[in-house]
Amino acid sequence: MRETDLYEPVRDWLTEAGWHVRGEVKGCDIAALNGERLVLVELKTVLNFDVVLQATDRQRAGDIVYVAVPAKLRSMARKRWKRVVHLLKRLELGLLLVHFSTRDCGVPPRVEEAIPPIPFDRMQSRSVARKRREALVKEFHGRSGDHNRGGSVRHPILTAYREQALFIARLLHEHGDLSTRTLRAMGADGAKTRAILADNHYGWFERVSMGVYRLTDTGRKALEQFISV
């Protein structure tokens, strides 16, 4: 696959939409005019940051700017692809996907306008991501302090959930086997204690009898690891 393989399908798509098209105009892969409206298209075999930089630079001259890439269905399902698509929308860049037939049966390439180059609505975007924002704020308030170093990759993060689990682990370490009722009376979270013990996400707890738990060796090691927290 070469960038030139994308030219004819995109050119034909623009022509059918009423644009007069020229290739390689002043460094732009495709330039198209309809009256005074100028469309610029960057052709790339891979959607990466370099083409985004090029496309945003083209916005200085063009009224509408597209990035055109081959449609690769596998990569389009990945999380990174979705983030790149969101970036293009934020930058008000259009995205054209060129679909090529997987079989040599004379089927011409098809161009799909995956993202129209329209103004970005920040308020709508935040409304869609409302639950993510609420989760961030809830996690922020659920922590007792700033116990993590920003940028950490290979170190366990002390989340609000882990803090609660560590608090329960400390109580079991100091007092031995305890019931969920006693743990709550000693300050453990009233709403989460039973679930933390029952789920035993980290393998720190062991049920002794109905509603009574003890600390495992894994839990003791975790306390040593987070002793300064």
Angle, CA of 66, 71 and 76, to the nearest 5°? 100
pLDDT value, residue 103: 65
pTM, rounded to two decimals? 0.68
- On the 0-12 / 13-18 / 19+ scale of CB atoms within 10 A, 142 is middle
In a domain, 184, yes or no: yes
Query: What pLDDT does residue 156 have?
Result: 81
Same domain, 115 and 188: no
Both tokens of residue 221?
């090691």
Say if residue 172 is in the same domain as residue 86. no
Residues 16 and 91 in one domain: yes
- CA 203, 204, 207, 208 torsion-angle sign: positive
Residue of higher predicted confidence among 155 and 135 = 135
Top-confidence residue, 93 or 143: 93
37, pLDDT greater than 70: yes
Using pLDDT thresholds of 50, 70 and 90, give the confidence band for residue 83: confident
Is the domain of 33 the same as that of 88?
A: yes
| Banded pLDDT at 75 (limits 50, 70, 90) | low
176-223 pLDDT per residue, tens: 999 999 999 999 988 899 999 999 999 999 999 999 999 999 999 999
pLDDT in tens, 166-179: 999 999 999 999 99
Q: Would you place residue 228 in the very low, low, confident or very high pLDDT band (cuts 50, 70, 90)?
A: low
Mean pLDDT of 74-90: 80
Residue 92 lies in a domain: yes
Domain C-terminal end among 121, 147, 180: 121
| 100 and 164 housed in the same domain | no
* Owning domain of residue 190: 160-225
Q: Structurally, how many domains does the chain consist of? A: 2
Q: Looking at the structure, do residues 100 and 185 belong to the same domain, yes or no? A: no
pLDDT of residue 12: 96
The predicted structure's pLDDT at residue 205: 96
Would residue 136 count as lying in a domain? no
Return the CATH number at 188.
1.10.10.10
91 and 14 in a common domain: yes
Residue 129, domain member (yes or no): no
